[in-house]
Amino acid sequence: MSGTILIAYGSKHGSTQEVAHAVAEELQARGLDVETLPADIVDDLRLYTGVVVGGSIYMGRWHADAVGLLGRHKYALSELPVAVFGMGPRTLESREVEASMAQLRRSLATVPEVEPIAVAVFGGAVKPPALRFPFSRMPASDVRDWEAIRYWAAGLVEAFDYGKPASDPRDLRTELQQTPR
């Protein structure tokens, strides 16, 4: 696939931005052209052949800039391969990861036109000095699994090379059956 992959992110304190750049580096290392931008400044998707949207998950919600990008560009994104990630759990305990995934899926459900080819939740980072009270009293932590992030990004290469999969395999069968021989 020729073209550029957009990595767009919604980040409040920089942790998600760092992950977006790691995803971009992995895709670039595997031969893809990539542009990384904050989600709130993306205004045109015509230059891109695929999109990755990432956002932090705070207080049960995916970052408003990530959700906003999906809403503003839902019709363009319905035609492109789109991958999505969320950053959130303070630990990698399955219960916390599952809760963050449920929160991310609720946000994605608000934009049914966009059907991601891949969805992931990665552990987050808490930097108390950057937070307001009462969150500034939380213990510092960083449970981002950089190996898992790079592995997920590497798995996107084939999907971006291939393009948007058919939304319903029955559509392809019907088209093939109607093609004259």
> In this predicted model, what pLDDT tens digit does every residue of 59-108 receive, in sequence order?
778 999 999 999 999 999 999 999 999 997 676 778 888 888 999 999 99
The mean pLDDT value for 18-42 works out to 96
Which domains can be identified in the chain, with CATH numbers?
4-178 (3.40.50.360)
For the ranges 26-40, 117-131, 137-151, the one whose mean pLDDT is highest = 26-40
> Are the C-beta atoms of residues 144 and 120 closer than 8 Å to each other?
no
Using DSSP's 3-state secondary structure scheme, residue 143 falls into coil
> Whose CA is closest to 103, among 119, 92, 114?
119
DSSP code, position 167: S
The 10s digit of each residue's pLDDT in 166-178 is 544 433 333 333 3
Q: Output 161 or 10, whichever has higher pLDDT.
A: 10
Q: How far is CA 101 from the centre of its chain?
A: 12
pLDDT of residue 134: 59
Q: Output 30 or 141, whichever has higher pLDDT.
A: 30
Q: Where are the beta strands (DSSP E) in the chain?
A: 4-10, 33-38, 48-58, 61-62, 82-87, 118-122, 125-126, 141-142
pLDDT of residue 176: 33
Q: Output 131 or 174, whichever has higher pLDDT.
A: 131
Residue with tokens 């998600």: 16
HSE-up (13 A, CA, CB side) for residue 63:
25
Tokens of 125: 């980072």
| Length of the chain as a residue count | 181
Share of the chain above pLDDT 70, in %: 76
Cis omega (within 30 of 0) for bond into 112: no
- pLDDT of residue 113 exceeding 50, the answer is yes
Using DSSP's 3-state secondary structure scheme, residue 27 falls into helix
Q: Where are the beta strands (DSSP E) in 11-47?
A: 33-38
- Cα separation, 96 vs 160, in Å, equals 30
Angle in degrees, CA 84, 85, 88, rounded to 5: 150
